[in-house]
Amino acid sequence: MPIPIILAVSNEQERLAVQQALSEIRENVEVTGAAETPEELFRFMPISVPTIFILSAQFAKNATVSLVERLTTHPLAQVIVLLPQEDFSLARQFIRAGAIDTLPLSQLPFELHASLSNAIRRAHRVGREQIPRSFQVGRVIVFYGPKGGVGTSLLVTNLAVALASYQPEPVVLVDLNLQFGSVATLLGLRPEATIASLAQRFQGELDFEFLQSFLLKHEESGLRVLAAPSRPELAELVTTFLVERVFQVLRNHFAFILVDTSTILQDTTLAALDISDQILIVTALDLLAIRNTQLVLEMFRKLYPSDRLKLVLNRSNVRFSGLTPEQVEEFLNIPILAQIPSDGQVAVSSVNEGIPFVLRSPNSLLSQSIFRLATIIAGEQFTPPVPVAEKVQEGALQRFVKFLLGEE
């Protein structure tokens, strides 16, 4: 059965050029439709059959890049973009958005055949990989701590384990703290495969079958993990292009893609932030953390929609600075999505033993707060192992001890 091709060109010259190039190709393809508007284009979105879209870069004017992003969220859609002339910067934007290739109009007669052959191979491979699932495309949720030591890695690791353990959809955790990533250690894993070893074998093409061999499995929860490099100097092997391709593949196979990042806003971190569905900024009740969070929010608000940005307050019951969560919300002009209390004994024991505290101590205040955050993210399909109160009430003895320690 021929693979359908949908044309979405912006002028008669492009239409004639594509038709002429296709007439000289004997691949197993067939033009089955043409779209005049973006709305009409989505009527041709594939349901069960791989489809190739040949799309003009000028089809939706300045919105064509975002149009490609929307099209390629469907794993069966393969997009080839026509450029008016050679433009490396524009081509890179479309590749990052998910297009499998970009072709200058002048090169169409010479390169369309190879581009279509690649699209057909990928379409058949993706078609074989499709399995029944309840989610259309996975959500990328990036965790970023503007200041070192606020507990981002421990938080995101336990959240990932909770989601993998207590809701039915598949979850993967990507450690993009490339120099000093700690996710594998926190899970008690000794990785032989990491994102650096993936980078050493990456040749520009990436499919799930290949990527899967680099994903560790946390047996107790079923969580899959793409670990950080084993040594700091290996971080330079990981490129933004690899990071973008990894997330494109993971979106089609996992409902939740959680990402731990470095405090340093390097290119790979920015690539993850660009592709994210949500950015959870983790801060704490100290002046340096709040100051850094203010600076980061000022920058992120210029780059990303405000509804993508969320604030998580870690160690919310530690009051050495005299700050309160309410003051933080007012100062930063953003509501706190979740408050995670401090519990040194539970956290340190978890780290030293390599056992996530959501499994080791599910009744602790710390685990309860993670379960509440997981419920916010996953909704009703998340069923924690113990009842979770809306607001945890501490006993008088706990409050007195924390007062003496300066945590109240």
Enumerate domains of the chain plus CATH numbers.
3-129 (3.40.50.2300), 139-404 (3.40.50.300)
Find out whether 71 and 77 touch, Cβ atoms under 8 Å.
yes
* Total residues belonging to the chain: 408
Query: Which tens digit of pLDDT belongs to each residue from 284-297?
Result: 988 899 999 999 99
The predicted-structure confidence for 225-273, as pLDDT tens digits, reads as follows: 999 999 999 999 999 999 999 999 999 999 999 999 999 999 999 999 9
Share of the chain above pLDDT 70, in %: 89
pLDDT of residue 184 exceeding 60: yes
Mean pLDDT over all residues of the chain? 86
On the question of pLDDT at 66 being above 60, the answer is yes
Helix (H, G, I), strand (E, B) or coil at 11: coil
Tokens of 136: 């259309």
Across residues 310-334, what is the average pLDDT? 87
Please provide the distance, in angstroms rounded to a whole number, between the alpha carbons at the two ends of the chain.
69
**CA-CA distances (angstroms) from residue 299 to 129, 146, 277, 305, 314?**
39, 12, 17, 11, 21
Mean pLDDT score, 340-356 = 90
Give CA–CA dist 63/78, Å, rounded: 18
Which segments of 223-301 are extended strands (E)? 223-226, 256-261, 278-283
Q: How far apart are CA 316 and CA 336, in angstroms?
A: 11
Q: What is the pLDDT of residue 405?
A: 44
Helix (H) or strand (E) holding 19: helix 12-23
Comparing 395 with 296, which gets the higher pLDDT? 296
Highest mean pLDDT of the ranges 45-54, 120-129, 370-379: 370-379
The dihedral region occupied by 46, where left means phi > 0, alpha psi between -120 and 50, and beta the remainder, is beta
**Cβ atoms within 10 Å, residue 393:** 8
- Residue 159's pLDDT is 97
Least confident window among 4-13, 115-124, 207-216, 359-368: 115-124
Q: pLDDT, tens digit, for every residue of 73-121?
A: 777 788 999 999 988 889 999 998 889 899 998 888 888 888 887 777 7
pLDDT band at residue 45 under the 50/70/90 scheme: confident
- 164/184 Cα distance (integer angstroms): 16
The encoded tokens of residue 183 equal: 């996710």
Question: Cα separation of 83 and 261, whole Å?
Answer: 34
The backbone region for 131, taken as left when phi is positive above 0, alpha when psi lies in -120 to 50, beta otherwise, is: beta
pLDDT at 135: 58
Say if residue 175's pLDDT is above 90.
yes
Asked if residue 272 lies in contact with residue 261, where contact means CB atoms within 8 angstroms, the answer is yes
- pLDDT of 321 strictly over 70: no
- Comparison of pLDDT for 228 and 318, the residue scoring more: 228
Please report the pLDDT score of residue 391 as a whole number.
54
| DSSP output for 112-148 | HHHHHHHHHHHHHHHHHH----S-SSPEEEEEE-SST
- Specify the higher pLDDT residue, 33 or 407: 33
pLDDT for 399 beyond 50: no
